[in-house]
Amino acid sequence: MKNISRILLIVILAVVINSCNSDFLNTTPADSLSENAVWADPILVELFVNEMYRGIGHGHHECEVGSMTDESHFIHNYGTNQVVASLITPSDIGQWSAGNQNAYRWPRVYEYLRNANMFFENIDKVPFEDENLRKRLKGEVHFLTAYYYHNLVRTHGGVPIITKTFLLDDEFEVPRNSLKECVDYIVKNCDDAASMLPVKQEGAELGRANKSGALAIKSRILLWAASDLVHENWYGSYEQPDLVTIGGDRTSAWTAAKNAAKAVMDLNAFSLHKPTGDAFDDYTSLFISKSSPEHIFSRYFIKSNGWDSEDSNTHSPLFNGPNGYAAWAGNTPIQALVDDYEMTDGTRFDWDNPEQAAAPYENRDPRFYASILYDDAPWRQRPATLQANDPIGEISIRTVYAGNDVTSDRVYGLDTREGPQQTWNGGYTGYYLRKAIDITVDPEFVYDGANQEVPWTFFRLGEIYLNYAEACIELGEDNEAKIYLNMLRDRVGMPDITETGDALRQRYRQERRIEMAFEQSRYFDVRRWLIGPQTQDMNSTGIVINEFADGRVEYSVHEVGQVRGWDDKTNFLPILQDEMNRNTMLIQNPGY
Amino acid sequence: MRNARNYLFLWGRSLLTLLLFCFSIGLVSAQQITVTGNVTSATEGTIPGVNIVLQGTTTGVITDLEGSYSIVVPGPDAVLVYSFIGLVTQTVIVGNQTTIDLVLESDVSELDEVVVLGYGTQKKATVTGSVSAVKGEALKSIPANNVSNTLVGQVAGLMVVNRSGEPGADDSQIRIRGINTLNNSQALIVIDGIANRDGGLSRLNPNDIESITILKDASAAIYGAQSANGVIMITTKRGKAGAPEIGFSLNMGMNQPTRLPDMLNGPDYAQMLNELDEYRDRDERYTQDQVNKFGDGSDPFRYPETDWYAETLKDWSPQGNANLTLSGGSEAVKYFISAGGTYEDGYFKNSSVGYSQQNFRSNIDAQITKNIKLRFDLSGRHEDRKYTQMRGGTTFRFLQGMKPIEPAFWPKRSTDTERLPGPDFEGGSNPAVTSTDITGYNYDNNYIFQSNVGLDITELFTVEGLSFVGNIAIDESFREFKNWKKPWILYTWDKETMNENNEPDLVGSVKGIAAPELTQESRRSKSFTGNMRLNYTKNFGEHIVSVMAGIERQTQTGYYFSAYRNGFVSDQLEQLDFGANNTSKTNNGSLWESARLNYFGRVNYNYSNKYLAEFVFRYDGSQIFDPKYRWGFFPGVSLGWVVSEENFMSDVSWVNRLKLRGSYGTMGNDKIDPYQYLGTFEFGGNYIFNEDVDTKSLRPSSVANVGVSWEVAKNANIGIEGGLFDNKLSFEFDVFRNVRTDILYPANAAIPLTAGFSPPDQNIGEVKNQGFDLSLNYIHTINKDLYWSVGFNGGWAKNEIVFWDEPAGKLPWQVSTGKPMGGQLLYNALDVFIDQAAVDAYPHWPGARPGDIRFEDVDGDGEITVDDRVRTDKSNFPTFVGGIPIAFGFKNFELNILMQGAAGAEQYVQVPSGEFGNYLQDFADGRWTSENPNSNKPRAFNRTDEYWISGRNTHFMRSTDYLRMKNVKLSYTLPQSLVSKANMKYVQVFFSAMNVLTWDTYKVFDPENSSQNGGSYPQRRLFNLGVNITL
């Protein structure tokens, strides 16, 4: 026993004396890499660039940008009410501070831009075996830089252009660059990217930035930079107008916009998506197909994508589907959008026309049927629980009365807030989103991985046509504009536009609203055109449909309880108050 | 009759023997002796109420009014312990005596009580820090199976809040003197001298615990960089020389939730929905006739009414524990061995939720030579947690949300053999179904093994007063998770279609997932601690100096891996191999490591037990930090003056003890993420190229903060403690002021977002926390048959953010600097708009209508905006936690009651009511309606639709101050005469209870819950019967 204790004493002493060598404290992390390791390995550099793609967002987050416009009502609010009522302040920008809008959010965009700067500071020392890869990655990061700034500038106006990687002990305060400098910087990055990238990416590179995409960003931002928003004084007196306006010659601005759009078209690499020639099928599959001759730059998704704000596209059927399909309604189209879909003869729908008011969903622009679910719209098979009520699978909004007036016994529609299933997930407007939702996906099981694999297309030829047409109209080249507008209308079987002058401008704006619905265009268009006071200053409305025993069906438009209002200040988001406080060189946007 | 009784006892004893088989120990035959005698005090003559206890047992008697006693002891080896407060405790070996008369010496006995301190022990009388101890015996009498739930109300300044009662997940939040930092505020847990042991203190066997010591002030500085939040030290029991003693205890209890919220019944709920329709300008969805039908049961298929709690929960759920201990030994080898098990069932019907544990401990001391002792301790336990797919908190959230007009189960139709489950809320969740194992299971098995080998050498190198202590502790734990999900079927009815029997045609459909799926995860961690220290104590006349110095190293590693597959073809084979071999399957794994090295020491000076001084230090090195900034020095100093030892106090007879003390020290908190000094890159999420190729990405995970270091605590404490009136009244009062600086917090104000990185944590934050602890105890012994005692302990602590780099320019009423941590920005709810005129008369949110809450226009700009929100002063952690222990003893009966309360916390209450779910009765009663416009409660609301729901405001904030009857124990100790006939030493039977009654104004949920929507598993109210037997 004495020996045991002697041995133990020696062991303890050995352990403890060994401790005097404190090398064992020098552990290294087992789950992360050092900076040097990254820039020494081309494969890791490529992964680093991949990360920058993750931030570019997509259009099918649970809360869509369209719900901050006159496209839809987001029933769960999530800060959209502040935006549509123009209640945002520098301390509260509502949904614009939510993760769903990361691709536009000041903090996130600057995070990715820091990665871009870090990339450019290091890329030339990476030992590439294939120099083409270095060039391609540089081109991609120029594209991504342009993309991030074009989001930030369109939402905030002139922003600080950061071209270095900040470290902890740097001087951080920077001023905002003028709007013109910002646009020039975006254009320069587009041009650089275009010079380094192929027109299209293919094979393993499909989905990476390409030359066409770079030119498409340029088209979009130059159109924006030619618009009324940045040339007219909507803000009164403001200490630094060059943060929100560009000035200069409008004609040359519109010409630049026209040329930028033309540059994309002149690549001759894309054509309108019309594989079948059927208007409804073509316009539907344009947003579902993984490949299309119209897609310029898209992001792809697979079923196993997760729930985080970067990947949630795959859940769109659940986010937006009707409650009668065990989904959550989410972004529900409002009546104002529905009413803007033309009749098939190209005339405006009119509630004062008794024939149209009695059958409002008949003879409408095929894009209506492909974009919006309405009462009696054919849709997929119901969940087992409701198949007895609706064996066919049609959207059910109307209330069916046993008698001839509203006091009689009634049965509510399956997809309403009074329906038999998940009433709290019913929409208020009587419409559900259909565009870019895959009918083959059962929303009931999306929660558990039965997701959709629908891509998100950031740029497509259709938008370029519209950009081109708008620039042409503003330059007085009406006929040139109509060629491209009517190509789009022809694809969906709508009659040609024949107007000229301001009437043409209004038809064009109408056409853009419909063609680009739910593609994150409307929010910027109403601001570019300074038409917020006309289009955004009215409460959300929806439809109520009553069917009586005698066969009468009455459609009536009701407010849905979402208060809206317009304030010109919301043409741009405010700089967050905390950011203003941290960086005294910043100047707040007008009106805040 | 007597034979029969003996037979019963023999039978019982045989059963116990059987239970003890694993110990291979036979029962020692008894040879009983009755000892009588008389006890007197040197100063006061005969003393009634002297405690006489058979050593090593709880068997004992009390002297009567004449100071006489009589006790039966098992044999001549028996040792009797005579104790009385204020007198020296004496022990006497019985030998062949049958009469033992004693004279007890006055006082000083209490001073010999020893307290465990960091790396050593000290007499309580000479402790100069703020140190509290609680005896294991006190905790053992509380029937909770989780040690952390026995601590509340026991120690002044130990703030304990229990957020959840879910079996196996019911650990209390423990904070010493409140919250001192913006970061991790957990105390360091030290078990038998080893810090950071896996598994913590909660699941220790209360029967194994000798004492728990809490270091509340600078006395914790000996634990250096880990000590800033205080230290909780647990010491387990060890054997004492003597005959083997076998203890057996058994507890069997029934529990139920402390509180369930009152929800609306069917008709009231339907009425609320009609009101919503009215406010939205829609037709009311139910006629009055339909509303009534939800209540009258006339048509249970079309108009069901469900009490979801009654459908899902049972009235009582069992729990219990059993424990065996064996201790004893010779002077050469002593042992304490225990084995035990616990079991707790969930509240649910057909419950598949439960916790069970098996544990053992073996603490061995071997005296190898006169001055060398070897310690060998081994303990292990298996924690077995069983949950359903839906965890308890979620189930309770759904329970309060479920609509009373939807059926949990349909009524039985003529062809049904059982009630078919009703529809789901969404995603398949019908809590009456998903609280069972129909949806699969979630198993969590944790195995923890701890070992410690120690060597104590006194008179090292034959130097008197020089000693050596060394320890090597190796702990290892394994944790296995298995999560098996499978689809289930729920039934709906469209309220129209009838089947061939003209009964409702219920349609079943698969819910949740299409096919079963399985996730398995395995975690393993191990730690190694080696330490040694030298002690030297020397007396120079009245001066006593002792010095201790030590060194310790600790390394810990852990790793995990997990795997997942879906698409199981059958739910019969719950193994990964049988899942689909598709792209959804995953596997993951990672590893972590930690290492510490430190040097520590203590110097004590004691002049005649009158003037005391202590200095402790630790020099700490940790792998968490940059090698250049890795080491830190943490000193603590404390002084004490035992006033009662002064000559001028000798005449003040009513003061028995009086000590003044003060301390100040610097401590650290390094509970932060490691490697912050490195700029690292980590793998991020994936991106899809080429339509469906999942590609990895890499991102900068952090910006290097090269100088990152620990938080620094500078804690000051002044205390006074003493005993008055023959020590009948003892008290302790401490005032403290803690300043925590260098708190790791991002430099929010300095780094704008344009920098493109989230600011890393830097050592910039500062928090102040001050308050007091107070404990009082009064014990009064009336005669040998009757005594009572009452005490009070409480701690108050209020913190304040001094600096956390809040960007300048905040509105004054929104600034958080200078306010307590945990406050929120809330609109100030004034009242309810009684009518349209009231709406028009005051600034309001767009769309406000009568019945809505009126928010105060704080900035007076005529609009209600986010700028009108005001920061609150309270958090959901109380500023005061206290307890009132009360005890009565009458003959063999003893009654212990612990009243316990907390104050200073508040909790937001908001459940998603409306079309989404049910309303709290409290929110519906007396609400604003057009018929009741003068109400101060808002109208019916729909989930978050109303601005006064989505805009958080003070209307929904409630105080959670409470007072509870926390513990009750009524025990009866069988008379010695009876017990000894059965060859037992001690038998006690008792009834005990927890959370018996609660008084508060919070009302809706349990006041310790911190979920605003009731999404937490309520604490238990427990009634328990138990027995303690010593053989």
Q: pLDDT tens digits, residue range B124-171?
A: 888 888 888 888 888 888 888 899 999 999 999 999 999 999 999 999
Between B709 and A155, the more confident residue is: A155
- Note whether residue A124 is domain-resident: yes
Nearest in space to B430 (alpha carbons), one of B291, B306, B303, B315: B306
Nearest residue of chain A to residue B680 (CA atoms): A34
| Cβ contact, residue pair B752, A172, below 8 Å | yes
Nearest residue of chain A to residue B591 (CA atoms): A30
> A10 and chain B: CB distance < 8 Å anywhere?
no
- Note whether residue A566 is domain-resident: no
Q: How close does chain B come to A116, measured CA to CA in Å?
A: 10
List A residues 519-578 in contact with B (Cβ-Cβ < 8 A). Answer: 544, 558-559, 561, 563, 565, 576-578
Averaged pLDDT, A92-112: 94
| Cβ contact, residue pair B809, A577, below 8 Å | yes
E strand or H helix that includes residue B558:
strand B543-565
Which of A9, A10, A19 to mutate to test binding with chain B, by most B CBs within 10 Å of its CB?
Answer: A19
Nearest to A27 among B366, B374, B595 (CB): B595
Work out the percent of chain B whose per-residue pLDDT is above 70: 96
> B281 and chain A: CB distance < 8 Å anywhere?
yes
The pLDDT value recorded for residue B622 is: 86
Averaged pLDDT, B599-613: 91
Averaged pLDDT, B987-1010: 93
Confidence check: pLDDT of B21 > 70: no
Averaged pLDDT, B192-218: 91
Nearest in space to B326 (alpha carbons), one of B334, B337, B315, B317: B337
| Cβ contact, residue pair B756, A47, below 8 Å | no
Nearest to A16 among B495, B553, B683 (CB): B553
pLDDT tens digits, one per residue of A31-42: 778 888 899 999
CA–CA separation, B608 and B646 (whole Å):
10
Averaged pLDDT, B599-611: 91
Q: How close does chain B come to A231, measured CA to CA in Å?
A: 27
The pLDDT mean for chain B works out to: 88
Confidence check: pLDDT of B501 > 50: yes
CA distances from A509 to A466, A529, B226, B418, B987 (A): 9, 9, 66, 62, 92
Averaged pLDDT, A507-536: 97
CA–CA separation, B443 and A72 (whole Å):
44
- Note whether residue A191 is domain-resident: yes
- Note whether residue A592 is domain-resident: no
- Note whether residue A224 is domain-resident: yes
Averaged pLDDT, B501-520: 89
The pLDDT value recorded for residue B85 is: 63
| Cβ contact, residue pair B681, A170, below 8 Å | no
Please give the ipTM for the structure prediction. Answer: 0.92
Range of the domain at A231: 59-276+577-582
pLDDT range class, residue A104, cuts 50, 70, 90: very high
Domain count, chain A: 1
Torsion (CA) B168, B170, B176, B178 in degrees, nearest 10? 150
- Note whether residue A587 is domain-resident: no
Indicate if the alpha-carbon torsion angle B85, B90, B91, B96 is positive or negative.
negative
Nearest in space to B193 (alpha carbons), one of B537, B549, B552, B527: B552
Between B65 and A407, the more confident residue is: A407
pTM exceeds 0.90: no
The CA-based angle A475-A480-A485, given to 5 degrees, is 105
Q: Where are the alpha helices (H) located in A384-450, listed in sequence order?
A: none
Averaged pLDDT, B774-790: 88
Nearest to A12 among B495, B510, B530 (CB): B530
Let me know: does A134 contact A128? Beta carbons within 8 Å: yes
- List the helix and strand counts (H, then E) for chain A: 20, 11
Residue with tokens 């309060």: B400
Nearest in space to B526 (alpha carbons), one of B195, B198, B194: B198
List B447's β-bridge partners, or say none: B382, B478
Residues of A whose CB is below 8 A from B914: 424
- Note whether residue A558 is domain-resident: no
Confidence check: pLDDT of B875 > 60: yes
Nearest residue of chain B to residue A455 (CA atoms): B691
The pLDDT value recorded for residue B2 is: 42
Residues of B whose CB is below 8 A from A48: 681, 697-699
Nearest to B553 among A19, A170, A173 (CB): A19
pLDDT tens digits, one per residue of B319-336: 999 999 999 888 889 999
Phi and psi, residue B22, nearest 5° = -60, -25
Nearest to B698 among A9, A51, A113 (CB): A51
Averaged pLDDT, B674-692: 87
Confidence check: pLDDT of B779 > 70: yes
| Cβ contact, residue pair B689, A15, below 8 Å | no
Nearest to A29 among B622, B680, B754 (CB): B680
List A residues 149-168 in contact with B (Cβ-Cβ < 8 A). Answer: 160, 162, 165-168
**DSSP letter, residue B411:** P
- Note whether residue A227 is domain-resident: yes
pLDDT tens digits, one per residue of B303-312: 999 999 999 9
Confidence check: pLDDT of B693 > 60: yes
CATH of residue A261: 1.25.40.390
pLDDT range class, residue B22, cuts 50, 70, 90: very low
Let me know: does B719 contact B736? Beta carbons within 8 Å: no
Nearest residue of chain A to residue B402 (CA atoms): A422
| Cβ contact, residue pair B754, A174, below 8 Å | yes
Let me know: does B1010 contact B1029? Beta carbons within 8 Å: no
| Cβ contact, residue pair A91, B497, below 8 Å | no
The pLDDT value recorded for residue B106 is: 62
